Amino acid sequence: MDPGPVISFLELVLAEDIGSGDVTSAAVFRRDQRDSFKVRAKRGGVLAGAPLAAALLLTHDPDLEIGLPTPEGSRLRTGDVLLEVSGSVRSILEGERVALNLLGRLSGIATLTSRFVAAIAGSNAKLLDTRKTGLGTRYLDKYAVRCGGGHNHRIGLFDAVLVKDNHIAAAGSIRAAVDALARTGWSPGQIEIECDTPTQVRECLECGVGMVLLDNMTPDRLAEMVDLVAGRCELEASGGVTLENVAAVAASGVDYVSVGAITHSAPALDVSLGTGD
Protein backbone atom coordinates (compact mmCIF):
# COMPACT_ATOMS: atom_id res chain seq x y z
CA MET A 1 0.00 0.00 0.00
CA ASP A 2 1.42 3.39 -1.01
CA PRO A 3 1.78 5.35 2.29
CA GLY A 4 1.40 8.77 0.64
CA PRO A 5 -2.36 8.67 -0.02
CA VAL A 6 -2.92 6.97 3.34
CA ILE A 7 -1.15 9.72 5.31
CA SER A 8 -3.09 12.37 3.39
CA PHE A 9 -6.33 10.53 4.20
CA LEU A 10 -5.45 10.32 7.91
CA GLU A 11 -4.69 14.03 8.03
CA LEU A 12 -7.97 14.80 6.29
CA VAL A 13 -10.18 12.76 8.62
CA LEU A 14 -8.43 14.14 11.71
CA ALA A 15 -8.96 17.70 10.50
CA GLU A 16 -12.61 16.96 9.71
CA ASP A 17 -13.29 15.91 13.31
CA ILE A 18 -10.99 18.15 15.34
CA GLY A 19 -11.44 21.30 13.28
CA SER A 20 -10.21 24.31 15.26
CA GLY A 21 -9.81 22.19 18.39
CA ASP A 22 -11.54 19.84 20.85
CA VAL A 23 -13.26 22.39 23.09
CA THR A 24 -14.28 19.77 25.66
CA SER A 25 -10.88 18.16 26.21
CA ALA A 26 -9.10 21.53 26.09
CA ALA A 27 -11.22 22.77 28.99
CA VAL A 28 -10.94 19.62 31.10
CA PHE A 29 -7.31 18.50 30.63
CA ARG A 30 -3.87 20.12 30.47
CA ARG A 31 -1.91 19.14 27.36
CA ASP A 32 0.77 17.49 29.54
CA GLN A 33 -1.71 15.40 31.54
CA ARG A 34 -0.98 11.75 30.78
CA ASP A 35 -2.82 8.43 31.01
CA SER A 36 -2.99 5.01 29.39
CA PHE A 37 -5.87 3.55 27.38
CA LYS A 38 -6.74 0.29 25.65
CA VAL A 39 -8.93 -0.37 22.61
CA ARG A 40 -10.94 -3.56 22.98
CA ALA A 41 -13.29 -5.56 20.78
CA LYS A 42 -16.85 -5.58 22.11
CA ARG A 43 -17.74 -8.64 20.03
CA GLY A 44 -16.03 -11.31 17.98
CA GLY A 45 -14.70 -10.68 14.50
CA VAL A 46 -11.53 -10.37 12.44
CA LEU A 47 -9.02 -7.59 13.07
CA ALA A 48 -8.03 -5.14 10.35
CA GLY A 49 -6.70 -1.62 10.65
CA ALA A 50 -4.92 -1.54 14.00
CA PRO A 51 -1.62 -0.28 12.47
CA LEU A 52 -3.64 2.36 10.57
CA ALA A 53 -5.40 3.46 13.76
CA ALA A 54 -1.97 3.70 15.39
CA ALA A 55 -0.63 5.72 12.46
CA LEU A 56 -3.61 8.07 12.76
CA LEU A 57 -2.94 8.70 16.45
CA LEU A 58 0.77 9.22 15.81
CA THR A 59 -0.02 11.59 12.94
CA HIS A 60 -1.91 13.69 15.48
CA ASP A 61 0.70 13.36 18.25
CA PRO A 62 4.06 11.73 17.48
CA ASP A 63 4.88 11.55 21.20
CA LEU A 64 2.19 8.96 21.94
CA GLU A 65 3.39 5.47 22.88
CA ILE A 66 1.42 2.74 21.12
CA GLY A 67 1.40 -1.04 21.34
CA LEU A 68 -0.30 -3.49 18.97
CA PRO A 69 -0.71 -6.77 20.88
CA THR A 70 -2.95 -8.51 18.33
CA PRO A 71 -1.78 -9.29 14.77
CA GLU A 72 -3.81 -8.16 11.77
CA GLY A 73 -6.16 -10.84 10.48
CA SER A 74 -6.56 -12.40 13.93
CA ARG A 75 -9.90 -13.83 14.96
CA LEU A 76 -11.18 -11.79 17.88
CA ARG A 77 -13.19 -12.57 20.98
CA THR A 78 -15.11 -10.09 23.09
CA GLY A 79 -12.68 -8.15 25.27
CA ASP A 80 -9.54 -8.75 23.20
CA VAL A 81 -7.11 -5.82 23.30
CA LEU A 82 -6.45 -4.42 19.84
CA LEU A 83 -4.37 -1.34 20.64
CA GLU A 84 -2.69 0.19 23.70
CA VAL A 85 -1.86 3.89 23.85
CA SER A 86 -0.20 6.09 26.46
CA GLY A 87 0.50 9.81 26.49
CA SER A 88 -1.35 13.09 26.47
CA VAL A 89 -4.98 12.53 27.46
CA ARG A 90 -6.05 15.40 25.25
CA SER A 91 -4.24 14.03 22.22
CA ILE A 92 -5.70 10.56 22.72
CA LEU A 93 -9.26 11.79 23.18
CA GLU A 94 -8.95 14.12 20.19
CA GLY A 95 -8.05 11.17 17.98
CA GLU A 96 -10.26 8.59 19.68
CA ARG A 97 -13.42 8.69 17.57
CA VAL A 98 -11.68 8.81 14.20
CA ALA A 99 -9.33 5.96 15.19
CA LEU A 100 -12.26 3.84 16.39
CA ASN A 101 -14.27 4.62 13.25
CA LEU A 102 -11.37 3.48 11.09
CA LEU A 103 -10.67 0.36 13.13
CA GLY A 104 -14.34 -0.59 13.34
CA ARG A 105 -14.97 -0.11 9.62
CA LEU A 106 -11.97 -2.08 8.44
CA SER A 107 -12.47 -4.87 10.97
CA GLY A 108 -16.11 -5.05 9.93
CA ILE A 109 -15.07 -5.54 6.30
CA ALA A 110 -12.53 -8.19 7.29
CA THR A 111 -15.12 -9.96 9.43
CA LEU A 112 -17.79 -10.12 6.71
CA THR A 113 -15.16 -11.15 4.13
CA SER A 114 -14.06 -14.02 6.37
CA ARG A 115 -17.65 -15.28 6.55
CA PHE A 116 -17.91 -15.39 2.76
CA VAL A 117 -14.49 -17.07 2.50
CA ALA A 118 -15.56 -19.71 5.02
CA ALA A 119 -18.79 -20.32 3.09
CA ILE A 120 -16.91 -21.24 -0.12
CA ALA A 121 -14.09 -23.17 1.56
CA GLY A 122 -15.15 -26.44 -0.05
CA SER A 123 -14.76 -25.08 -3.59
CA ASN A 124 -11.87 -23.99 -5.80
CA ALA A 125 -13.26 -20.48 -6.19
CA LYS A 126 -11.58 -17.37 -4.79
CA LEU A 127 -13.53 -14.51 -3.26
CA LEU A 128 -13.01 -11.10 -4.91
CA ASP A 129 -13.99 -7.59 -3.87
CA THR A 130 -15.30 -4.88 -6.22
CA ARG A 131 -15.00 -1.11 -6.67
CA LYS A 132 -18.05 -0.60 -4.44
CA THR A 133 -15.99 0.87 -1.61
CA GLY A 134 -16.22 3.90 0.62
CA LEU A 135 -15.39 7.22 -1.02
CA GLY A 136 -11.73 7.94 -0.31
CA THR A 137 -11.18 4.58 1.41
CA ARG A 138 -10.60 2.34 -1.64
CA TYR A 139 -7.10 1.18 -0.69
CA LEU A 140 -7.99 0.75 2.99
CA ASP A 141 -11.17 -1.22 2.24
CA LYS A 142 -9.31 -3.53 -0.11
CA TYR A 143 -6.58 -4.01 2.50
CA ALA A 144 -9.29 -5.10 4.97
CA VAL A 145 -10.59 -7.62 2.41
CA ARG A 146 -7.14 -9.22 2.32
CA CYS A 147 -7.07 -9.34 6.14
CA GLY A 148 -10.33 -11.30 5.97
CA GLY A 149 -8.92 -13.85 3.54
CA GLY A 150 -10.37 -12.40 0.34
CA HIS A 151 -8.61 -11.26 -2.82
CA ASN A 152 -8.57 -7.91 -4.57
CA HIS A 153 -10.09 -7.38 -8.00
CA ARG A 154 -8.85 -4.30 -9.86
CA ILE A 155 -8.12 -1.27 -7.70
CA GLY A 156 -9.75 1.18 -10.10
CA LEU A 157 -10.33 1.94 -13.75
CA PHE A 158 -6.60 2.26 -14.39
CA ASP A 159 -5.11 -1.15 -13.58
CA ALA A 160 -7.20 -3.69 -15.51
CA VAL A 161 -9.58 -3.88 -18.47
CA LEU A 162 -13.19 -4.81 -17.73
CA VAL A 163 -15.65 -4.29 -20.57
CA LYS A 164 -19.10 -3.89 -19.03
CA ASP A 165 -22.60 -3.79 -20.49
CA ASN A 166 -22.55 -0.06 -21.23
CA HIS A 167 -19.20 -0.36 -23.00
CA ILE A 168 -20.64 -3.11 -25.21
CA ALA A 169 -23.81 -1.17 -25.94
CA ALA A 170 -21.95 2.01 -26.86
CA ALA A 171 -19.27 0.18 -28.89
CA GLY A 172 -21.86 -1.88 -30.78
CA SER A 173 -20.60 -5.35 -29.91
CA ILE A 174 -18.10 -7.33 -27.88
CA ARG A 175 -15.93 -7.77 -30.97
CA ALA A 176 -15.88 -4.01 -31.61
CA ALA A 177 -14.76 -3.34 -28.02
CA VAL A 178 -12.04 -6.01 -28.16
CA ASP A 179 -10.76 -4.69 -31.50
CA ALA A 180 -10.64 -1.14 -30.12
CA LEU A 181 -8.66 -2.31 -27.11
CA ALA A 182 -6.28 -4.23 -29.39
CA ARG A 183 -5.51 -1.02 -31.27
CA THR A 184 -4.29 0.54 -28.00
CA GLY A 185 -2.07 -2.42 -27.09
CA TRP A 186 -4.32 -4.69 -25.03
CA SER A 187 -4.17 -8.36 -26.01
CA PRO A 188 -7.38 -10.42 -25.75
CA GLY A 189 -5.91 -12.44 -22.90
CA GLN A 190 -5.69 -9.28 -20.79
CA ILE A 191 -9.36 -8.44 -21.26
CA GLU A 192 -12.35 -9.32 -19.06
CA ILE A 193 -15.87 -9.01 -20.49
CA GLU A 194 -19.15 -8.81 -18.60
CA CYS A 195 -21.77 -11.18 -20.04
CA ASP A 196 -25.34 -12.00 -19.12
CA THR A 197 -26.24 -14.44 -21.91
CA PRO A 198 -24.71 -17.61 -23.39
CA THR A 199 -24.53 -15.85 -26.76
CA GLN A 200 -22.25 -13.19 -25.32
CA VAL A 201 -20.08 -15.86 -23.68
CA ARG A 202 -19.66 -17.59 -27.06
CA GLU A 203 -18.65 -14.28 -28.64
CA CYS A 204 -16.04 -13.83 -25.90
CA LEU A 205 -14.63 -17.28 -26.66
CA GLU A 206 -14.42 -16.40 -30.35
CA CYS A 207 -12.47 -13.25 -29.40
CA GLY A 208 -10.11 -15.20 -27.12
CA VAL A 209 -10.60 -13.03 -24.03
CA GLY A 210 -8.88 -14.01 -20.80
CA MET A 211 -11.83 -13.75 -18.41
CA VAL A 212 -15.60 -13.55 -18.53
CA LEU A 213 -17.71 -11.99 -15.80
CA LEU A 214 -21.01 -13.87 -15.57
CA ASP A 215 -23.52 -11.31 -14.35
CA ASN A 216 -26.55 -12.22 -12.22
CA MET A 217 -26.74 -15.86 -13.25
CA THR A 218 -28.25 -18.65 -11.17
CA PRO A 219 -25.95 -21.44 -9.95
CA ASP A 220 -27.45 -23.80 -12.55
CA ARG A 221 -26.83 -21.32 -15.37
CA LEU A 222 -23.30 -20.70 -14.06
CA ALA A 223 -22.61 -24.45 -14.21
CA GLU A 224 -23.82 -24.47 -17.83
CA MET A 225 -21.38 -21.63 -18.64
CA VAL A 226 -18.55 -23.54 -16.96
CA ASP A 227 -19.30 -26.51 -19.25
CA LEU A 228 -19.56 -24.22 -22.29
CA VAL A 229 -16.23 -22.51 -21.63
CA ALA A 230 -14.47 -25.77 -20.76
CA GLY A 231 -11.39 -24.05 -19.37
CA ARG A 232 -10.79 -21.75 -22.34
CA CYS A 233 -10.93 -18.66 -20.11
CA GLU A 234 -11.38 -17.85 -16.45
CA LEU A 235 -14.87 -17.20 -15.11
CA GLU A 236 -16.05 -14.76 -12.48
CA ALA A 237 -19.56 -14.89 -11.01
CA SER A 238 -20.99 -11.59 -9.84
CA GLY A 239 -24.31 -10.02 -8.94
CA GLY A 240 -26.86 -11.01 -6.32
CA VAL A 241 -24.35 -13.02 -4.27
CA THR A 242 -25.25 -13.40 -0.59
CA LEU A 243 -24.05 -15.48 2.33
CA GLU A 244 -27.07 -17.70 1.74
CA ASN A 245 -26.25 -18.55 -1.90
CA VAL A 246 -22.48 -18.03 -2.21
CA ALA A 247 -21.65 -21.69 -1.57
CA ALA A 248 -23.91 -22.77 -4.45
CA VAL A 249 -22.44 -20.07 -6.69
CA ALA A 250 -18.90 -21.24 -5.96
CA ALA A 251 -19.86 -24.90 -6.37
CA SER A 252 -20.87 -24.19 -9.98
CA GLY A 253 -17.19 -24.40 -10.91
CA VAL A 254 -16.38 -20.73 -11.52
CA ASP A 255 -12.89 -19.50 -10.73
CA TYR A 256 -13.91 -16.37 -8.83
CA VAL A 257 -16.91 -14.99 -6.98
CA SER A 258 -17.04 -11.21 -6.55
CA VAL A 259 -19.14 -9.62 -3.81
CA GLY A 260 -19.74 -5.89 -3.49
CA ALA A 261 -21.43 -6.26 -0.09
CA ILE A 262 -18.18 -7.06 1.71
CA THR A 263 -17.11 -3.43 1.28
CA HIS A 264 -20.34 -1.47 0.80
CA SER A 265 -22.54 -3.15 3.41
CA ALA A 266 -20.27 -4.61 6.08
CA PRO A 267 -21.43 -3.65 9.60
CA ALA A 268 -18.67 -2.02 11.63
CA LEU A 269 -17.08 -4.11 14.36
CA ASP A 270 -17.96 -2.63 17.74
CA VAL A 271 -14.76 -1.43 19.43
CA SER A 272 -14.19 0.92 22.36
CA LEU A 273 -11.41 2.80 24.12
CA GLY A 274 -11.10 2.96 27.90
CA THR A 275 -8.67 3.30 30.76
CA GLY A 276 -7.55 0.54 33.09
CA ASP A 277 -7.24 -3.20 32.59
Tally of residues, the chain: 277
Compute CA distances 267 → 91, 112, 201, 214, 242, whole Å: 28, 8, 35, 27, 15
Active site residue 194: yes
Has 132 been annotated as catalytic?
yes
Catalytic residue among 34, 132, 146, 221: 132
Long-range contacts of 162-166 (CB under 8 A, 24+ apart): 162/192, 162/193, 162/194, 162/213, 163/191, 163/192, 163/193, 163/194, 164/194, 165/194, 165/196, 165/215
Q: Would residue 126 show up in a list of annotated catalytic residues for this protein?
A: no
Q: Which of 30, 31, 75, 97 is catalytic?
A: 97
The verdict on whether 215 is a catalytic residue reads yes
Could you please report the per-residue DSSP string of 29-50? S-TT-EEEEEEEESS-EE---H
| 252 close to 223: Cβ distance less than 8 angstroms | yes
Single out the catalytic residue among 22, 94, 192, 194. 194
Active site residues: 97, 132, 164, 194, 215
